[in-house]
Copies of this chain bind each other. A is one copy, B any other.
Amino acid sequence: MTFKHKLSSIVQKNNSLVCVGLDSDLGKIPKHLKSQSDPIFAFNKAIIDSTYDLVCAYKPNSAFYEAYGLEGIAQLKKTFDYINEKYPEIPTVLDAKRADIGNTNEGYARFVFDYMGADSITLHPYLGIETLDSFLKRLDKEVFILCKTSNPGAGELQDLEVGKKPLYQIVAEHVVEKWNYNGNCALVVGAPYPADLNIVRRIAKNLIILIPGIGIQGGKVEDVVKAGVDANGQNAIINSSRGIIFASSEADFAQRTREEAEKLRNEINKFRVTI
């Protein structure tokens, strides 16, 4: 089964475009979990068990786990193992933002797809398509290429004009026209830039777009949904991390996260009209 099919099934089943970003910073998780042996995994497990019927994907960001070395990375693996065993119908994104030259990317593909068991990865575009075969040849996996990122300074390079178009549009065009030869490329466009998201959606009519940066980073739900979904009101994965998973630092944290995820799902669905 391809990532696209997996995503499309769960979007329908859970009626949701919400991706929960498991940016599970040990410094921010509820205190009562910190005495456990695997506190980050315990936190993730509770979040996952309380949101599995409200989401279309989970997206751990590797940096929050690597920060704690082997112990953190072991808990990242436990998180993927748990999702893959208990909720195999929910697609996963390992937000690892990798990309190296050709023979080296094979190592990252093995880490992300084989060792972790993630369904997809995020990648930097700077080295070009010639380096990406290790990822693209994995037909059951999806490859999310950074196009316009969610940070305030994203435009420094991404908005530079190449000919008469900003670089991020050129990236979107290259992905659609050249990189997507196996049909498993997707794009990342940040929620704080709905006008740019709208342009990317016109370039990439049928691609999945991962949209981080809703909420705390400043993206408005209505603008983002209207600009980001495809003609069928689908193929957009709208990610919230801090705004959802740190809704409470008390014993009720998983329940509060569930409420936030449900609220976001419903708000997204209000604007998810098809055209």
B contact residues around A102 at 8 Å (CB): 151
Number of this chain's copies in the assembly equals 2
Q: Are A105 and B63 in contact (CB under 8 A)?
A: yes
B contact residues around A181 at 8 Å (CB): none
A257 within 8 A of B: no
A146 within 8 A of B: yes
CB distance from A131 to the nearest CB of B (A): 5
- Which one of A30-38, A157-165, A223-231 is at the interface? A157-165
- Which one of A10-18, A48-56, A69-77, A248-256 is at the interface? A69-77
Cβ contact of A126, chosen from B68, B100, B101, B125, cutoff 8 A: B125
- Which one of A106-114, A201-209, A262-270 is at the interface? A106-114
Q: Are B104 and A126 in contact (CB under 8 A)?
A: no
A167 within 8 A of B: yes
Question: Interface readout for A26-47 with B: 1 if CB under 8 Å, 0 if not?
Answer: 0000000000000000000000
Interface residues of A (CB under 8 A from B): 23, 25, 61-70, 73-74, 77, 95, 97-102, 104-108, 110-111, 115-116, 124-131, 146, 149-158, 160-163, 167, 170-171, 174
